[in-house]
Structure 1
Amino acid sequence: MANEIGGDMTEKQFDILIIGGGLVGTSFLCALEPIIKSHQLKVGLIESHDLDKPGDTPPSYDARASALSYGTRLIYEQLGIWKELSDDAMPILDIHVSDRGHFGQVHLNHNEEHVPALGYVIENFRLGKVLLRRLKAFRDQQLIKVLSPAEVTGIKPVPEARMAVEVVTGNDQSDSQGNSQGNSQGSYQNSYQNSYQADLIILADGGRSSLLDKLNISRKQFDYQQHALVANVSLDRPHAGIAYERFAGEGPMALLPLTGTEAGDYRCGLVWTLPNRQIDDYMALDEESFMERLQQLFGTRAGRFVRLGQRSSYPLSLNVAREQVRPGLVVLGNAAHVMHPVAGQGYNLAIRDAMALVSNISDSLAAGKSPGQLSQLLQYVEGQKRDQTMTLDFCDNLVKLFARKETGVILARNLGLTGLNVSRRLKTRFARKAMGL
């Protein structure tokens, strides 16, 4: 190591440097807090958006809803932030999985699994607001240094097993807490380039990370030739905390219960998977025509759809980084793996990865080793390999299985759903996996 852990460093040297202040990067930082304090670590975070400017937040802090597993709730309780989230998180009390027009279905219930909820649904901007508040508190306590807005243009190894990042900010001046006072729109007209070094860099800048290419880290990719259409919809009756996964038409439809509004709306988050060839047509439909088509394919088991929020869409693909660790580097979150949203497992897997990585770092520090030592980081990857592989394969196989239209395949999958539903042991195993336990 170039410096003793937590020891005297220059302003441009860190023990750990996080690239990306989105949901995963800030959750990782929250988990790291006890270690920062106990080992006097010097930690930095770089974010291209201006975290102090209202409305200029990372893309993951958007209006979409995320399904948090019960296991993720337990993690956030451990980190001391669940209390701030609980009012905005709608408990999932039941899950209904069905194959439209066929007999197979699975029903999961929280009482049968002896948990207060199978999971929770929260809008990303509400989750982001809590995490951002915690991030700013860490900065104000001078536990971390924040560079925002700042753009990383390159990463490279440097002598003594450290990594260096080249960072462009909007101005050559930063305040005492490390916040760039430059251009808040990320255009960096009066830009200034600087270099920072760290024993360990956490690359958590999202699924569209351009830094993986700069590092020559390739991805395993599969294009599903589908888009996810996302919107909030209102029902004519209470949703009773029921989440639906409906395999209908050309792709799965998920309906996730949300907290109500002051107007008393019974809201749900819709994630509708559609083939690329259909997405533009569905996005262009007027509200009445869209809800009529949605009702036709989903059915009336949840009630009648009476109101539609703003629609958005994004392409779906499987993307997995072929390297998640190098000396002094870890790829985390969507930068490491992006999966189909069919089972709502992507964010939960990323949070489990983050907790496992914090545990690995703690073990390294306890042994007097650098947190960026490759042999230690390889243990992190090996420890998470089974969880990652099972979760990625489950979502991928589920999409491909329900896309098949052969009579024999349809019969087999419906028999499988029925068998799962009547077997207490199998259903509990399935439920616990879905809950991240």
Structure 2
Amino acid sequence: MSSSLDYDLLIAGGGLVGGSLALALAPRSLRIGIIEATPPTGTSEPPNADTDSRAIALAFSSRRILESIGCWSTIAPKAIPIHHIHISNRGHFGVTRLDTTQASLPALGYVVRMEVLTQAIYQQLKKFAQIEFIRPAKIINIINNAEKIQVQITSQTHIQTLSTQLLVVAEGGHSLTRQLLQIPVYQKDYGQTVITTNVATERSHQYTAFERFTDTGPLALLPLNEGYSNVVWTVKNAQAPYLTAVNDKIFLSLLQQRFGRRLGRLIRTSKRYAYPLQLLWAQQQITHRAVLIGNAAHNLHPVAGQGFNLGLRDVAALAEMIADAHKVGQDYGSLDALSTYTKWRYRDQCLVTKFTDSLIYLFSNDYPVLSQSRGLGLTALDLIPPLKQLLIRQATGLLGQQPRLTRGLAL
């Protein structure tokens, strides 16, 4: 660690969102410290990166942000484009189809394996001397003063105090720093678990992402390299232990029953992982000289794959606010400056959160009225162009006021 303990910006959490923010601000020559609890691994990827079955569906707006921070050229050769999205409801009529011709974009999104994304971000971070990892370290106390915020950290056997103009909390849904800031959260337990794995399929996916709503929860198959798809299967909590423990043959049979034969026979599966699901929403996202972004501010259900994309749009907006304020010598850690950011992000965050939460209610209940309504809704979306265009803009992350990074412009 450097002998100087004063930073222009401190980021709590060295994951994808925190790392992306540091890269977005790197051209401003700010001294940035990233406080990370896990020790260095000696590789370009963070600890515990799952190199087996975790994948992320990136919205088109996220591609633009990753281009702007210098990561996309590394990611692109291994990113699988989504040219079509097929949305259906198991056992009921109604389907919605989206494709690139309706969006006038080269792709609606991209599927990227987790290790590819993490390696690209961490390799890029190494290029900037003004970005410093402080690890392994844990924040144990926060002292908020008028002009600076002081952050006490414990690192191995000693305690140090760091100071900064702004503390950005990007630690994820279980953020301890958010608790130290005494920011309350709203939590909603869905009673569901998501199971992820990769499957080999008999037929080509033709660069199609499938979202299928079932009686146990939504099921997504996302295109990977030819002949493989990434599975994101939401089930009731009581079903999860069985589905993660059962042998591959039985698992594939049960998955086939839920998904159908749009990709022919499901041939084999990789290791399965299970994660409990809940909605988390911070009841405030800013205090004086501190701001929450990404999952620390809003942890969503994975239906529609919006969580990380929403966090990247937080990054783009916050980086723009900080860069503009820094350029003219204004205090980007003040409540006035941070309020500008939250007012900008509020509509997008609320819209995406309500959209994903409503999908779970609408498609996880078998009430006759709801069953008829969702079938009619899918049919209407498929037949009414303005509704389809609205859904495409939401899915691609291009709805509403866009930060410069999502428009391919420099800060």
TM-score (norm 2): 0.93
- Identical aligned residues as a percent: 38
State the 1:153 CA deviation: 2.0
State the 1:147 CA deviation: 1.1
For the pair shown, the structure with the greater C-alpha radius of gyration is 1
Instruction: Please give the secondary structure, in 2, of the residue aligned with 1:375.
Output: helix
Judging changes above 3 Å, is the alpha-carbon distance between structure 1 residues 246 and 230 closer, same or farther for their aligned structure 2 residues? same
Q: State which drifts further: 365-374 or 191-200.
A: 365-374
Residue 35 (str. 1) matches residue 28 (str. 2):
yes
- Corresponding residue number in structure 2 for 1:6: none
CA distance in 2, matches of 1:368, 1:135: 25
- Corresponding residue number in structure 2 for 1:214: 180
Matches within 5 A, 1:408-419: 408-419=369-380
Gaps of 5+ in 2: 399-411
Q: State which drifts further: 315-324 or 76-85.
A: 76-85
1:199-222 Cα distance to aligned partner (Å, 9 max, x none):
101111111112222221111111
- Corresponding residue number in structure 2 for 1:175: none
CA distance in 2, matches of 1:370, 1:60: 36
Residue of structure 2 aligned with 1:169, choices 144, 155, 158? 155
Q: State which drifts further: 74-83 or 19-28.
A: 74-83
What CA RMSD, in Å, does the superposition of the two structures yield over aligned residues? 1.6
State the 1:335 CA deviation: 0.7
AA paired with 2:133?
V
- Corresponding residue number in structure 2 for 1:368: 329
Instruction: Please give the secondary structure, in 1, of the residue aligned with 2:165.
Output: strand
Gaps of 5+ in 1: 1-8, 171-190, 261-265
CA distance in 2, matches of 1:56, 1:92: 25
State the 1:60 CA deviation: 6.4
CA distance in 2, matches of 1:105, 1:58: 41
CA distance in 2, matches of 1:205, 1:68: 20
- Corresponding residue number in structure 2 for 1:203: 169
- Does structure 1 conserve the Cα–Cα contact (< 8 Å) formed by 2:201 and 2:265? yes
- Does structure 2 conserve the Cα–Cα contact (< 8 Å) formed by 1:23 and 1:60? no
CA distance in 1, matches of 2:269, 2:41: 32
- Corresponding residue number in structure 2 for 1:391: 352
State the 1:160 CA deviation: 3.3
CA distance in 1, matches of 2:276, 2:49: 15
- Corresponding residue number in structure 1 for 2:383: 422
- Does structure 2 conserve the Cα–Cα contact (< 8 Å) formed by 1:61 and 1:127? no
CA distance in 1, matches of 2:127, 2:310: 26
- Does structure 2 conserve the Cα–Cα contact (< 8 Å) formed by 1:44 and 1:146? yes
- Corresponding residue number in structure 2 for 1:45: 34
CA distance in 1, matches of 2:51, 2:183: 28
AA paired with 2:89?
D
State the 1:77 CA deviation: 1.7
AA paired with 2:20?
S
CA distance in 1, matches of 2:127, 2:386: 45
Residue 244 (str. 1) matches residue 231 (str. 2):
no
- Corresponding residue number in structure 2 for 1:229: 195
1:180-210 Cα distance to aligned partner (Å, 9 max, x none):
xxxxxxxxxxx11111011101111111112
- Corresponding residue number in structure 2 for 1:26: 19
- Does structure 2 conserve the Cα–Cα contact (< 8 Å) formed by 1:22 and 1:60? no
- Does structure 1 conserve the Cα–Cα contact (< 8 Å) formed by 2:7 and 2:163? yes
Residue of structure 2 aligned with 1:148, choices 135, 142, 145? 135
CA distance in 2, matches of 1:60, 1:154: 28
Residue 69 (str. 1) matches residue 74 (str. 2):
no
AA paired with 2:13?
G
- Does structure 2 conserve the Cα–Cα contact (< 8 Å) formed by 1:110 and 1:117? yes
Q: State which drifts further: 63-72 or 361-370.
A: 361-370
- After the TM superposition, which parts of structure 1 deviate over 3 Å for at least 4 consecutive aligned residues? 58-63
Residue 90 (str. 1) matches residue 80 (str. 2):
yes
Judging changes above 3 Å, is the alpha-carbon distance between structure 1 residues 227 and 26 closer, same or farther for their aligned structure 2 residues? same
State the 1:356 CA deviation: 0.3
Residue of structure 1 aligned with 2:250, choices 274, 280, 289? 289
- Corresponding residue number in structure 2 for 1:108: 98
Residue 403 (str. 1) matches residue 364 (str. 2):
yes
AA paired with 2:222?
L
AA paired with 1:43?
I
State the 1:238 CA deviation: 1.7
CA distance in 2, matches of 1:206, 1:412: 35
CA distance in 2, matches of 1:251, 1:360: 38
CA distance in 2, matches of 1:61, 1:155: 32
CA distance in 2, matches of 1:152, 1:280: 35
- Corresponding residue number in structure 2 for 1:121: 111
Judging changes above 3 Å, is the alpha-carbon distance between structure 1 residues 61 and 305 closer, same or farther for their aligned structure 2 residues? closer
AA paired with 2:103?
E
Equivalent residue pairs, number:
396
CA distance in 1, matches of 2:49, 2:350: 24
CA distance in 2, matches of 1:146, 1:221: 31
Judging changes above 3 Å, is the alpha-carbon distance between structure 1 residues 52 and 403 closer, same or farther for their aligned structure 2 residues? closer
Matches within 5 A, 1:324-363: 324-363=285-324
State the 1:56 CA deviation: 7.6
- Does structure 2 conserve the Cα–Cα contact (< 8 Å) formed by 1:287 and 1:308? yes
Instruction: Please give the secondary structure, in 1, of the residue aligned with 2:85.
Output: strand
CA distance in 1, matches of 2:92, 2:41: 52
CA distance in 2, matches of 1:274, 1:412: 22
State the 1:62 CA deviation: 5.7
Q: State which drifts further: 402-411 or 54-63.
A: 54-63
CA distance in 1, matches of 2:317, 2:46: 27
- Does structure 1 conserve the Cα–Cα contact (< 8 Å) formed by 2:44 and 2:122? no
Judging changes above 3 Å, is the alpha-carbon distance between structure 1 residues 134 and 56 closer, same or farther for their aligned structure 2 residues? closer
